[in-house]
Amino acid sequence: MDQEYLYYIGFLFGFVNGSTRFIWGILMDKLGFKLLMIIISILELILSFSIYYSASYPILFVIENLLVALCLSGTFTTITPLFNKIFGKELATEIYGLTGFFIGIASFLGPLLVNILIEKKEDYLMVYFIGGGVVFMKFMAVICFKENEPYHFKNKNEEFNENEDKNIKNEEIFKNEEKTDEENNNGEEDTDENL
C-alpha cells in the first residue's frame, strides 16, 4: 500500500475517533451501556474477520478502518460512566488513569507482538483471528453483565465514612437507651413514693 494512502487513513482514523465521542455519549443516555456495547462488539467481530479481505479494495479498506475508529471511540466513551457506576467517582478516576497507562503500553507491545507473529507464521490473517477471539470474549462478558444491579466497590475513604456514620448511629442508640432506662427508673421511684 502507498505510504500517502496509509497516512490519510491514519488521519481520518484519528479524526473519527475524536470527533464522534459526543454522539456515543448521547446514545449511551438513550440506550444504556449494555445494548450499546453489544452493538459495538458485534460490529468489532464483523470487522475482525473481514478487514483482512478488504485490504484488496482501497475504498472498502478505508470504510472498515473508519468503522474500527468508531468502535474505539464508542468503547472509551461508554466505559467511563461504567467505571463511575462500579467503582465510585473517586476510585473511577484512578482506574481510568491505569487503563490509559496500559493502553500506552499496549500501543507499544501490540505492533511488536504482531511483527513477531507475522515473522514466525507469515500470516496476517491469524493476527485478525486472535483479535476476533479477544472481541468474542468481550462480547460474552457484556452479555453476562447485569446493567441494573447496584454495583459499587467502596474505596477506603467511603468505608471509613460509612463506619463513622455507623458509630455515630450506635452512639445515638446507646444514648437513647440510657435515657429511656433513666426515665423508667425515675418512673419507678415516683410510683414507690406514691405508695
- What superfamily would CATH give domain 3-153? MFS general substrate transporter like domains (1.20.1250.20)
Give CB contacts under 8 A, 24+ apart, made by 58-63. Answer: 58/5, 61/9, 62/9, 62/12
Specify the pTM: 0.66
Percentage of the chain surpassing pLDDT 90?
Answer: 7
Q: Any idea which residue has 515473522 for its cell?
A: 119
Query: 89: closest CA among 153, 14, 16?
Result: 153
What is the reported pLDDT for 53? 85
- Do residues 49 and 119 lie in contact, with contact meaning Cβ atoms separated by under 8 Å? no
Cα–Cα dist 102/99, whole Å: 5
Cα–Cα dist 34/38, whole Å: 6
pLDDT at 15 over 60: yes
Cα–Cα dist 55/46, whole Å: 15
The number of angstroms, rounded, from the C-alpha of 164 to the middle of its chain's C-alpha atoms is 30
Q: Where are the domains of the chain?
A: 3-153, 156-195
b or e along 104-125 (b: 16 or more beta carbons within 10 Å of the residue's beta carbon)?
eeeeeeeeeeeeeeeeeeeeee
What is the reported pLDDT for 137? 92
**110 vs 12, residue with greater confidence:** 12
- Do residues 16 and 70 lie in contact, with contact meaning Cβ atoms separated by under 8 Å? yes
What is the reported pLDDT for 42? 92
Instruction: Report helix, strand and coil shares of the chain as percent, to nearest 5.
Output: 90, 0, 10
Per-residue pLDDT tens over the stretch 56-70: 888 888 899 899 999
pLDDT at 165 over 60: no
Per-residue pLDDT tens over the stretch 92-128: 888 888 888 888 888 888 778 777 877 776 667 777 8
